[in-house]
Amino acid sequence: MIFLERIGPALRGLTRLLGLDERRCLRCGAAFAPSDDDGTVDGFLCASCLAALPPMRGPRCRRCAHPFPGAAPGAPALCGDCLRTPPPWRGMACYGRYEVALRDFLLDFKFHGRFVLADAAAPLLLDSLLCLPLPDAIVPMPLPLSRLRARGYNQVQELALALGRLLDLPVRPDLLLRPSCDAPQSRLHAKERRRNLHGSFIAPAHAGGLRLWLLDDIFTTGSTARAATQALLSAGAGRVDLVTLARTPLEPAARPDRKPALSLPPAATAGNAAPEKRPECAGNPD
Ligand SMILES: [Zn+2]
Ligand SMILES: [Zn+2]
C-alpha cells in the first residue's frame, strides 16, 4: 500500500512527461493534459475554454436564478415573479449566464449536432447540483415532435445521458412527452409562450411518486419549464427540481415581462462581500 502511494505520483508524472495523458479539447480541438493544477479537471475542455465558460456567481433567486446584483452572498431570497407566482418546481440549479462563450457553446451543441459537447457540458453542472437532493431519474426536456423530426435529435437528451453517466442516474425521456406541433418558443413573447404551451406536455402515470430532475439547456422566461413541471406533478411525481446549463440575462429594462424583484436580500456593505470560490446554489431544498 505504501509502495503504491509512493509510486502513484511518479507514474502520473512519467505519463504526463511522455504525453500519454494528452487529450483534445472538445470545444476548440487544442491538445491539453488534464491537470488539477491548471483547472482542467473537467477532462474534456482545455484551461482556456473552461476559463471562457465561467459559472454564474453571486446571490440570485433560489427558484429561478434571477441575479441580485449587490446583495449579500448566500442571502436566501425570491425574486418578485417567484413571490407572486411561485414556480411549480422545488429547487433550481443553473450553471451560467446565456451570453458570450456559453451562448456560442450551446448554439454549437444545439444546432450543429456536436453531441460530443454533452460530455464537456455535463461536468460543468456538478457544482451547481450540490444544492439539490439526488433524484430517482433525470427527465430531459422534450422537443415538440415536429421539431424532433426536423432536427433529428434532442440535444437536451444527449446532455441528460452524459449527466446520467457521470452521476450513475437513470435517464427517463419516457416520463415526459410533447406531441403537439407548437411554434418555436424563442419567437414568442411571455404571454404567448404560456398560451402556446398550455397542455402541450403529457406525462404518463408511471412518473408517480418519483423525485425528478427536469433538465433543459436554456432557461428564458420559464414558461416551458412551468408547463413541463406541471405535467409531471399532475402525473403524480413526488418532487421536481429544475436543472439548466444557462439562463438568459434578466436586466428589467431588457425584459418587459419581468418586474423588478420585490424581495431583495440585504445589500452587502462596501468591501464586505467576499468573492465566491464556487457557484452558489440557486435552489436549496425546501
Ligand atoms: Zn479548448
Ligand atoms: Zn425567481
Write out the DSSP string of 1-61. -HHHHHHHHHHHHHHHHTTTT-EE-TTT--EE---TTTT-TTSSS-HHHHHHSPPP-S-B-
> What integer is the mean pLDDT of 194-214?
80
**How do residues 7-36 score in pLDDT, each as one tens digit?**
555 555 555 555 556 778 878 888 887 765
- How remote is the CA of residue 82 from the centroid of ligand 2, in Å? 4
Percent of the chain at pLDDT exceeding 70: 67
pLDDT value, residue 7: 54
CA distances to 52, 146, 240 from 135, rounded to whole Å, are 30, 29, 9
Domain boundaries, the chain: 16-52, 54-254
CATH class label, 54-254: alpha beta
2 φ/ψ angles, rounded to the nearest 5 degrees? -65, -35
Whole-angstrom distance, CA of residue 3 vs CA of residue 11? 12
- How remote is the CA of residue 129 from the centroid of ligand 2, in Å? 17
Whole-angstrom distance, CA of residue 157 vs CA of residue 172? 9
- How remote is the CA of residue 191 from the centroid of ligand 2, in Å? 17
Looking at the CA of 105, name the nearest ligand.
1
Average pLDDT value for the chain: 75
User: SS3 for 163?
Assistant: helix
- How remote is the CA of residue 32 from the centroid of ligand 1, in Å? 8
pLDDT value, residue 151: 83
- How remote is the CA of residue 44 from the centroid of ligand 1, in Å? 8
Among the listed ranges 18-32, 34-48, 72-86, 250-264, which one has the minimum average pLDDT value?
Answer: 250-264
Whole-angstrom distance, CA of residue 188 vs CA of residue 256? 13
Q: Name 241's bridge partners.
A: 213
- How remote is the CA of residue 26 from the centroid of ligand 1, in Å? 7
- How remote is the CA of residue 34 from the centroid of ligand 1, in Å? 12
Looking at the CA of 250, name the nearest ligand.
2
pLDDT value, residue 74: 62
pLDDT value, residue 196: 52
pLDDT value, residue 185: 54
Looking at the CA of 46, name the nearest ligand.
1
Go through the chain and tell me how many residues it has: 286
What element of type H or E holds 81? helix 80-84
**How do residues 255-280 score in pLDDT, each as one tens digit?**
434 443 433 333 333 333 333 343 44
Per DSSP (E only), the strands in the chain are 23-24, 31-32, 92-97, 137-140, 211-219, 239-247
> What integer is the mean pLDDT of 111-129?
84
Looking at the CA of 25, name the nearest ligand.
1
pLDDT value, residue 171: 97
Range ranked top by mean pLDDT from 32-41, 53-62, 72-81: 53-62
pLDDT value, residue 40: 47
